[in-house]
Amino acid sequence: MNAPHPPKVAGIDPTVPTPTHTVASAPPAPEAGPAPDAPAGTPPPVAVPGAPGSLLQDRLAGWVSDLTTLHELTERMCRTSALDTALEELLRAGAALVGARRGLVVWEPGDGLGPRTTVGHGLGRADLGHLETVPREALLTSTADLLAEPGLDPRHREVAARLGYAAAHAVPLTTDDACLGTAVWLYDEPAAPDEHHRHLIGRYLRQAAEHLALLLEVERTRAYAATLTGELLPARLPRLPGFQLAVRHRTGPRGGGDWYDALPLPDAALGLSVGSVTGGGPGAVAAMGRLRASLRAYAVMEGEDPVAVLSDLELLLRLTEPARSATALFAYCEPGARRITLAGAGHSPPLLTGERRTEYAETSLSAPLGMLACWEAPSVEFRVESGETVLLYTDGLLRRTGETMDRAFARLRSAAAGVPRALRDDPGAVADHVLATLLPGDTARGDEDVVLLAARFG
């Protein structure tokens, strides 16, 4: 038979759906007749509610409901891919399991390597600020009734009265190897989860902590890759008369191999380069550093001939890293003459923008470095008007828009053409406007690096 809808687990938020479960029906009992020695006409015995079989079914339904709820909450946690999102999901699920309205996670990895943060659920930024003033030992302690707690820290009592909570339940976030922090849920009235609820939240947090530990490692790896990439790129851009430079660089989650460079050359010239190594992760970052350093050396020796610079770089790549390819663009700039000579290897063309025009520079089509037995393509030369800005960029800027390449090129040109007149004298403001227009709110899709190098001729 179909069992009635099982009772909700006490304290579970109704937003977590509890499905209807079907319990296997027991074989029907034979119809009871009167006892052999009963008088004629005696009715058969009637089943009494609450018999052992009925209690067993109710208990089984409760277990199934608990397991289903834990399974759904754990699945939601496992679908998170960022540490902040996972901590918010943990607080939301925990609040449903223990019947609390608000909570916070104090994230403090025990190894001291960070990152350290505090995330709240149902708490504003000002509320978290007040909670940060409470001594850590007092804040991270379970208390069923704060007002009745003897020896309660005065600051904790004051903050609890201000925020309107009367009890707290704290649970450490631990794995077999490490302590990650503590989760605390706050009750509006004096309360504490019973043994059943403590069992549920304990089982959930054991699984959640393992997932959080994995996300922590991913977060640290990304931070290390971003730091390494930053150290391999120029710490500052050179300053030359009649020339202004600005760059915007965003490292993707995988820590890709995009680079940029600006190198003063003899005769008051300037070498500009952008490029990208295939692949991602530490290997691509290391390869990017080697290629960029080599390109600088070739630029000093023969920078006035961009084709020769990229030809030498291609030969080096083919001999030292035959499994990799790279795109690159090198421009030899003469600020005094407002002239640029450039060569590109599989790279997107520069974009010129100013009061009178916004157009892509005409460059010859060429394969990326390392793709052909011998790379060579003709260079192109063009002049830049006073006040115009040249934008050099990597393909990640286009791919992160989520558009096709043709539409991405059109959007980039439109963004550069729409720079307000008041911002055109500042290459940094031009780059910021283009990024904000092309990738609004930094909600771009994709994991590629983004490089945007803006060079304004005075």
User: In 93-204, where do the E strands start and end?
Assistant: 102-107, 117-121, 167-174, 179-187
Is the pLDDT reported for residue 170 higher than 70?
yes
Kindly report, residue by residue over 324-372, the tens digit of the pLDDT.
Answer: 899 999 999 998 888 999 999 989 999 999 999 999 998 877 888 888 7
Count CB neighbours of 354 within 10 A: 20
8 A C-beta contact, residue 322 and residue 294? no
8 A C-beta contact, residue 204 and residue 261? no
Q: What is the pTM of this model?
A: 0.65
Q: What is the mean pLDDT of residues 263-279?
A: 92
pLDDT of residue 352: 95
Map residue 397 onto helix, strand or coil. helix
d(CA 363, CA 377): 10
Domains and their CATH numbers in the chain: 63-224 (3.30.450.40), 233-457 (3.60.40.10)
Q: What is the mean pLDDT of residues 118-126?
A: 94
Q: What is the mean pLDDT of residues 133-143?
A: 92
Give the pairing type, strands 351-353 and 358-360: antiparallel
Residue 8 pLDDT class (50, 70, 90 cuts): very low
Please tell me the least confidently modeled range out of 38-42, 397-401, 418-422: 38-42
Kindly report, residue by residue over 56-110, the tens digit of the pLDDT.
Answer: 887 788 788 889 999 999 999 999 999 999 999 999 999 999 999 999 999 999 9
Map residue 324 onto helix, strand or coil. coil
Is the pLDDT reported for residue 50 higher than 70?
no
pLDDT of residue 250: 86
Is the pLDDT reported for residue 10 higher than 80?
no
pLDDT of residue 124: 93
Kindly report, residue by residue over 300-327, the tens digit of the pLDDT.
Answer: 999 899 999 999 999 999 888 888 899 9
Q: How many residues make up the chain in this entry?
A: 458
**Which residues, including other chains, have CB under 8 Å from residue 402's CB and lie 6 or more apart?**
444, 445, 446
